[in-house]
Structure 1
Amino acid sequence: MTTEAPVPVGAMPRMRTRKGVPASARGMRAAIYVRLSRETEESTSPERQRAACESLCEVRGWTVVAVEEDIDVSGFSRGLERPGLQRILSRLADFDVIVFFKIDRLARSTVDFAEIMKIAETANVGLASASEPLDLTSSMGRAMAKVIAVFAELESDTIGMRVSNAHEHLRREGRWTGGRVPYGYRVADNPGGAGKVLEVDKTESDTVHEIVKRVLDKDSLMKIATDLTAAGIPSPGHSSRQTTGKRSESKKWYTTTLRSLLTNPQLLGQVIEDGKPILRTDGLPLVTRPPILDMDTWQALQDELERRANPGERRREGTSLLRGILHCSLCGFRMYTFVSGGKIRYRCIGRLKKAQSGEGNGCYGVTIAAEALEEYITADFLKTFAKIPVVRLVEHAGEDFRPQIRQAEEALKDLQKDRYERGLFKGDDGAERYAEQYASLEERAASLKEKQRHAKPAGVETVPTGQTHGQMFKAADVAGKRELLLNCGAFVEVGPGKKGVRKLDDSRLGVYYGDEGLIRRSGGRLKG
C-alpha cells in the first residue's frame, strides 16, 4: 500500500458541485461549524458536536480545512450576526461544504436558515448535517431541511415560552431568577425551600436611606454623587457587587446613577420585568421581597425628584446665594450677579428687560456688592432661624380601592356571561364550579368595598429631621442654603444706594421672612 503526501490546503482544486448532485463526493473541502448557547450538562457539548462533524467528514472522505465555534452565542437573538458563522460566510471560496451537528445549531429560525442556504447556493457550497440524514444539495433535501428548520424554530419558541413561564412562576413565588441584583439587596438561599431569594443588604440599604434623606433635605444630586465617590462606596454597577452583565471597575457615582436608583420601584420590594412591575391578578404591583423604602417616603422622594426635573421649578445649582430672593425696590424685577472690577455684584435688569420690549420703567439699574450683602443676609437669617428645628412635609398618597372594586365587579359580569351567554360550566359539576367561583369573586368585592370605607385619606404630615436650620445651613452647599432661605419665605428688596457710601448700607434693604415674605412673593413681585 502506498501513501501519498498530504496536499496543502491552498493547492487543493476547487470541487464545484452542481445543484442536485449529492454532497457525498469525496475530496471536498469542509468547514465545520459549532454553536452552543450555554454550556450545561444537558447541552450537546462543543467537543461532541465537533467529533460528530469530523466523523462525517472522515466517512465521506472530506478534508476539514476550517473549524469555527460560537460558544455562549444565541442563534435566535443574534441571527446571522455570529462571529464564527460570519468568518465561514466571509471565505466561502475556500470551502465546498459546511458541516454542522444539527440544523438548529446552524440557525434557529426558518428565515435565517433559508438565508444561509441562499448564500451557500450562490457560492456553490453545500450544507451537511452530521446527525440528520439529509442530502442538502438536492432539491428534495433542501425542501426537507426547510421543514426541519420550521420545527426547530417551533421547538425554540416553545422552549423560550416554557422558560419564560417558569421564570414568572418563580418570581411570583418570591424566588430570584438571576440577572442584575437590585441595589440594596443581595442573593441568599431560600429559607422556605429550593432556589435563591433576594434579601435586604444592610450596608447598601443604609446607603439608600442616607441618599434619600439628603435628597429630601435639598442636597444636590451632584454633591451626593461626589461624596459617595470620595467615600469609596461601590456604585450599583461595580464588579464587586455584580457577577454578570455590564460591570465596571470604577466606583464613581454619577447623577444619572442616583436618579436611576431612586426612581426604581424595586426599592418598594416590587418585582420588575422588562422595566415594568409585574402585576397581581388584582392589578396591584407584585411585592415578594422586603421593601427598603415605605410608600410615604417613596412618594415624597418622587415628588422632590419631579420638582427638580421640572424646568419651571428647578433652580440652577452652583449660582449665587440670593438668586430668586433679591428684588429691586424700584421696579420689582429680580436681581442677578455680574462681575465688575473683579468683584461680584447684584444688579437689577428691569431697565434692560423693559427696553427690549420698547418700554420704560423709571429704573436706572440698582446694584449692590454681593459679598457683604450675602454675609449680612446669612447672619440675619441665622439670628432668626438657627435654633428652629427643620421639618419636612411628607405627603401621604392615601388608599383607593375603587379600581380593584371595578375590576372585581367586571369579573363577576364576565363570569355570568361565561355561563349564561357563552354556555360554559357544563357537566355534572358545572353548576358547583360556577357557584364556587362566583362566591369567591363576590367575597372579594365585598372585602374591597369594606376596605374602601376605612381607606386612609391622603394628607400631609410634618416629620422632624432632627436638625436645626443652623446645622443644616452650615452643612449645605450654595444651592441647599438658598433652598432653606426660600423655604423660610426669604424675600429681600434693595433700594437705591447713596453716593460716597462704600460699606453696606442696611437702610437700603427690606428683609422679610415667613408669611410676610411669601405674601410679597405671591403678590406679583417676581418679575424677571
Structure 2
Amino acid sequence: MTDPTVEIPRAMPRARRRKGVPASAPGMRAAIYVRLSRETEETTSPERQRAACEQLCAARGWRVVVVEEDIDVSGFSRGLERPGLQRILARLDEFDVIVFFKIDRLARSTVDFAEIMKITEAQSVALASATEPLDLTSSMGRAMAKVIAVFAELESDTIGMRVSGAHEHLRREGRYTGGRVPYGYKVVPNPDGAGKVLVVNQEEAEIIQAIVTRVLAKDSLIQIANDLTKAGVPSPGHTSRQTTGKRSASKKWYTTSLRSLLTNPQLLGQVIEDGKPILRTDGLPLVNRPPILDMDTWQALQDELTRRANPGERRREATSLLRGVVHCALCGFRMYTYVAGGRTRYRCIGRLKKRQGGEAIDCYGVSIAGQGMEDHVESEFLRKFGRLPVVRMVEHAGENYRPQIRQAEEALSDLEKDRYERGLFKGADGAQRYTVQYARLEERLAELKERQQHARPAGVEVVPTGKTHAEVWRDADAAGKRDLLLSTGAYVEVAPAEKAGKVLDLSRLAVHFGEEGLMRRSAAGKSTATD
C-alpha cells in the first residue's frame, strides 16, 4: 500500500538545446575564414580581411582558435570545394563561431550560403560577418543574410558579365587578355597602344609546321610525340612557356597534347573564347593575328586526323605491314599474322570463314613466312616506285560569299524599312546617320560581290612533297609504309606451297601494283564480303 504522504517524483521536462550561440556571448571560440579570388590592388587584401575579423573577435571577447585562407580560389566556380573552407567545416566541434569579412567572402551563391548555414546550424556553430550587422542566430537574421547573399550573387554575376564583355571587346581588337598562351604564339607589348598582343613565335611555329608535315606523311602521333620528347622540345604546358595556370615541369609530349594542338583553330589566327571561335558580324570566325597554317593545310590536317580517329583505321595502324595487302590465291580472303616458333607468319582464314558461313570449303588455310614475304614485297615496291616523287593531294574547299551577300542585302532592306516605314533616324542628324550607314552597307555588299566573282572554286591540287617514294619509305613506320603500298594499288597473292622447305619459294608470290592491283582488290572485296 502506498503512503499518501510520500510525494512521487515526476520527470522534469528536458531542456531544449539552443540553436547556435548568441552573437554577444564572450569567451567563444572563433575560426576566421579569409578568401580572395585574385590578389590585386583593387581587391580587399587578405591582411585587411584578417585584421577586420580579429578586431571583431577582440571587441566581443572571442578567442581566435584558427585562421584559414583560400587565396586565388574562386568562390563561384569552386563552390564549397575550397581547401581552407573544408578544413574549417571538418573541425566544427572545435569552434563556436565562424568569422568572415563579408558574406560574399564565405559564399558566392545563395545555394552555397544556405548549405553552409545548414551545416553550421546542425553543429550549433554561429556565423558572424565583420562588416555587416547580422545576427545569424535568429530566424529574421538568417533570412536577412540570405537576402544579402542573393544581392551578393547578383553583384558577382554582374561583375562577371562586365569582365567577360570587356575581355571579348579586347579580343576583337586583337589584344591579349591573359590565360594560357596558344602554342606557336608569344606575348609582346602592343605596338599600337596599351596592353599586349599575341604574335607568332617563329621557333614554335616551325615545330608545328614540321609536325603537320609528318602527320600528312602518315607518321604516327606516338612516334612524333616520342621524337619531340627525345629532342627535348618543351611541351605546350611546360613551365618555360606557361607562367600561370596549369603547367608542368615535364617536357614530355603525349598524343593527346599533339591532337589538342593540331585541332586548335587558333593555328588559323582565330580568336577563341570558351572553346569556340568569336564570330564577326558576317558570321565568319574573327581572325586578328597572323595564322600559322593556311586553310588548305588545315583542312588536309583535319581530314587526316579524322581518318585516324576512325576505329577501323586505328586497328589497321596497329597491325602488320601487309595487312589488307596480301590475299590467299585459292579463296581470295585476306591473310592475317600469327606467331609460330617465335616467328611471324601470314595465314588465310578463309577455311574458318566459310565453315562459319556454312559454305563449301575449298581452302585449307595457306600459310607463309612473314619476314621473307615482306622483304620481297618491299624490294618490288622500291624497284617499281622508289625513284618516283611522292605528291600530296590537297583538297580545296572553295570560296563562297553568297550567304554573306544575302545577309548584306537583308541588312540594306532592314535599314530602308527603319528609315521609311518605322520612322527611325529622326532629328537633325538622322538623315546624315542613315546615309553613312547605308553607304557602308553598300560598300560591303559591293566588296562581297567582287570577291564572289573571283572566288576560288573547289577542287583537288597535286602538291609535290619534294621526296621520292624510297625516301618516304625509309622514314615511315609500319602504318606509313602500308599506306604507301595501298596508295600504289599493291595486291599480293600467295599460292599454296608445293613442298616444305626453309627457303621461301618466291614463285608462290604474285605482286601486283597500279590499276591491276586495285581491280584485283576490288574483286576480292566483292567475293569475300563477309571478311
- TM normalised by structure 2 equals 0.89
Check conservation: 1:17, 1:125, Cα contact below 8 A.
Answer: no
Mapped partners of 1:123, 1:348: distance in 2: 73
Aligned length: 512
Tell me, in whole angstroms, the C-alpha distance in 2 between the residues paired with 1:508 and 1:118.
82
Could you say which residue in structure 2 is the equivalent of 1:62? Answer: 62
1:303 aligned residue: 303
Matches within 5 A, 1:4-403: 23-314=23-314, 316-403=316-403
Q: Structure 1 residues 417, 123: closer, same or farther in 2, change over 3 A?
A: farther
Letter in 2 for 1:105: R
User: Following superposition of structure 1 onto structure 2, how do residues 465-504 of structure 1 map, counting pairs within 5 Å?
Assistant: 465-499=465-499, 502-504=502-504
1:450-465 alignment runs, 5 A limit: 450-465=450-465
Q: Deviations over 1:272-306 (max 9, x none)?
A: 11111111111111112111111111111111111
Q: Which runs of 5+ in 2 are unaligned?
A: 1-16
Q: Distance in 2 between the 1:182 and 1:471 partners? A: 33
- Matched to 2:149, the amino acid is A
Name the SS of the counterpart of 2:317 in structure 1. coil
Aligned mates of 2:29, 2:371 — CA distance in 1: 84
Aligned to 1:6: none
CA contact (8 A) 2:323 2:336 kept: yes
Question: In structure 1, what residue type is equivalent to 2:335?
Answer: M
> Is the alpha carbon distance of 1:17 and 1:357 closer, same or farther for their aligned partners in structure 2, counting shifts above 3 Å?
closer
- The worse-fitting range, judged by mean Cα deviation, of 92-101 and 480-489 is 92-101
**Structure 2 residue aligned with 1:4:** none
| CA-CA distance at 1:150 after TM superposition | 2.5
> Match of 2:464, SS?
strand
What does residue 13 of structure 2 align with? none
- Confirm or deny: 8 A CA contact 2:19 2:121 kept in the other structure: no
Q: Report how far residue 500 of structure 1 moved.
A: 5.1
Mapped partners of 2:124, 2:345: distance in 1? 81
C-alpha distance in 2 between matches for 1:90 and 1:482:
60
Displacement of 1:464 after TM fit?
1.3
Letter in 2 for 1:192: D
Q: Within 2, Cα distance between the matches of 1:371 and 1:31?
A: 74
Q: Contact 1:268/1:293 (CA < 8 Å) preserved in 2?
A: yes
Provide the secondary structure at the position in 1 that maps to 2:395.
strand
Report if aligned partners of 1:493, 1:509 keep a CA contact under 8 Å in 2. yes
Equivalent pair of 1:267/1:292 in contact (CA under 8 Å):
yes
> What is the CA deviation profile of residues 410-433 of structure 1, one whole-angstrom value per residue up to 9, with x for unaligned ones?
434544555566664444544543
Q: Structure 1's 130 and 485: CA in aligned 2 closer, same or farther, altered over 3 A?
A: same
Quote the Cα distance in structure 1 between the aligned partners of 2:368 and 2:175: 64
- Residues 144, 513 of structure 1: CA spacing in aligned structure 2 closer, same or farther, 3 A cutoff? same
Shift in Å, 1:61: 2.6
Shift of residue 393, structure 1, vs aligned partner? 1.0
Task: Give the secondary structure class of the aligned counterpart of 1:162.
Answer: helix
What is the distance in 2 between the residues matched to 1:145 and 1:339?
A: 74
CA shift, 1:123, in A, is 3.7
**Post-superposition shift, 1:388?**
0.9
Letter in structure 2 aligned against 1:54: E
C-alpha separation between the residues in 2 aligned to 1:142 and 1:369? Answer: 82
Distance 1:22 1:421, change over 3 A: farther
Structure 2: how far apart are the matches of 1:315 and 1:273?
A: 35
Q: Retained in 1: the 8 A contact 2:321–2:478?
A: yes
Partner Cα separation in structure 2 for residue 237 and residue 70 of structure 1? 25
Aligned to 2:516: 516
Amino acid at match of 1:31: A
Question: Would you say the 8 A contact 1:76–1:107 is kept in 2?
Answer: yes
- Give the TM-score, by structure 1 length: 0.90
Return the letter of the residue paired with 1:193. G
Q: CA deviation at 1:312?
A: 4.1
Q: Which amino acid aligns with 1:222?
A: I
Closer, same or farther: CA 75–345 of 1 in aligned 2, 3 Å: closer
User: Shift of the alpha carbon at 1:381?
Assistant: 1.4
Tell me, in whole angstroms, the C-alpha distance in 2 between the residues paired with 1:315 and 1:394: 26
Q: CA deviation at 1:95?
A: 3.1
Per mean C-alpha deviation after superposition, the further-off stretch among 433-442 and 266-275 is 433-442
Q: Given that residues 282 and 407 in structure 2 are in contact (C-alpha distance below 8 angstroms), is that contact kept between their aligned partners in structure 1?
A: yes
| Counterpart residue type for residue 360 of structure 1 | A
d(CA) in 1 for partners of 2:266 and 2:475? 31
Residue identity in the other structure for 2:186:
R
For the 8 Å contact 1:331–1:361, the answer to whether it is kept is: no
Deviation (angstroms), 1:359:
0.3
Percent sequence identity is 76
Aligned counterparts of 1:53 and 1:207: Cα–Cα separation in 2? 53
Moved more, 123-132 or 135-144: 135-144
Q: Which whole-Å CA distance do the structure 2 matches of 1:136 and 1:405 have between them?
A: 62
Name which of structure 1's ranges 495-504 and 275-284 shifts more when overlaid on structure 2: 495-504
* More off after superposition, 211-220 vs 373-382: 373-382
Change (3 A) 1:154 1:390: same
> Quick one: distance in 1 between partners of 2:80 and 2:417?
49
> Which residue identity does 2:287 align to in structure 1?
V
Q: How does 1:418-429 map to 2 (within 5 A)?
A: 418=418, 424-429=424-429
Partner AA of 1:381 in structure 2: F
Cα separation, 2, equivalents of 1:251 and 1:69 = 33
CA gap 1:378/1:122 in 2 versus in 1, 3 angstroms: closer
Q: Secondary structure at the match of 1:65?
A: strand
CA 1:314–1:99: 2 relative to 1, 3 Å: closer
Moved more, 100-109 or 115-124: 115-124
Q: Deviations over 1:377-412 (max 9, x none)?
A: 211211111111111111112111122223323434
SS at match of 2:177: coil
Q: How far 1:435 sits from its partner (Å)?
A: 4.3
Equivalent AA in structure 2 for residue 156 of structure 1: S
Output the amino acid matched with 1:301: L
Cα drift, residue 361 of structure 1? 4.5
Name the SS for the 1:511 alignment partner. strand
Q: Which amino acid aligns with 1:274?
A: D
Distance 1:80 1:422 in 2: 52
Secondary structure, aligned partner of 1:156 = helix
